[in-house]
């Protein structure tokens, strides 16, 4: 039993080391806040370790991590929306901190700002298709939607990103 536990731990450790950053970038694209993304990914990996025998047999373990993190985000959002904000300054500070964290994660600040404006489902599709490099079928399965819906969300998201980023580039050619 001890040998089996050691092999599983080694297998999980390798999975964590090789895929943590990729999962973090995908979740960051989905939520737009570096600190929150790190917390969500840490919690998702913790849950993966607790259910490693199931997760390691999953056809796309990285997708399991990102989907779990995004589900945790929904739970977090539901709890937070019941709280009463004291003033509007907190949101501005979060956005500035999020931009700085995005730069640290290798994101262009303009891209991160535009990603934040996308609807949630479009951000999720971008996270799975672009940052995790999953195909349409795997993305559809991970997000629980039809493949045609994934394609439609991706098309709309790319059009929006192109429109905003090309416009910004033309306005500010520095």
Long-range contact pairs involving 159-167 (C-beta distance under 8 Å, separation at least 24): 160/114, 160/117, 160/118, 160/122, 161/111, 161/114, 161/115, 161/118, 164/114, 164/117, 165/110, 165/111, 165/114
Inter-residue contact 116 to 164 (CB < 8 Å):
no
pLDDT at 92: 41
- The string of pLDDT tens digits covering residues 149-164 is 999 999 999 999 888 8
**What is the C-alpha separation between 42 and 69, in angstroms, rounded?**
8
Taking all residues of the chain, what is their mean pLDDT, rounded to a whole number? 81
pLDDT at 113: 84
- The string of pLDDT tens digits covering residues 80-137 is 665 554 444 444 444 444 444 444 456 677 788 888 889 989 999 998 998 888 999 9
* Gyration radius of the chain over CA positions: 18
How many domains in the chain?
1
């Amino acid at each position: 039993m001890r040998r089996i536990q050691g092999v599983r731990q080694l297998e999980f450790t390798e999975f964590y080391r090789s895929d943590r950053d990729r999962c973090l970038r995908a979740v960051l694209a989905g939520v737009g806040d570096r600190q929150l993304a790190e917390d969500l990914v840490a919690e998702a990996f913790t849950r993966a370790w607790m259910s490693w025998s199931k997760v390691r047999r999953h056809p796309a373990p990285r997708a399991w991590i990102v989907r779990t993190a995004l589900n945790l985000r929904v739970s977090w959002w539901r709890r937070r929306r019941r709280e009463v904000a004291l003033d509007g300054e907190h949101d501005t500070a979060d956005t500035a901190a999020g931009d700085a964290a995005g730069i640290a994660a290798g994101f262009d600040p303009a891209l991160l700002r535009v990603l934040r404006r996308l609807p949630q489902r479009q951000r999720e599709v971008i996270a799975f298709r672009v940052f995790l490099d999953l195909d349409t079928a795997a993305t559809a399965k991970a997000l629980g939607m039809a493949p045609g819906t994934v394609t439609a969300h991706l098309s709309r998201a790319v059009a929006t990103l192109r429109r905003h980023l090309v416009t910004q580039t033309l306005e500010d050619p520095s």
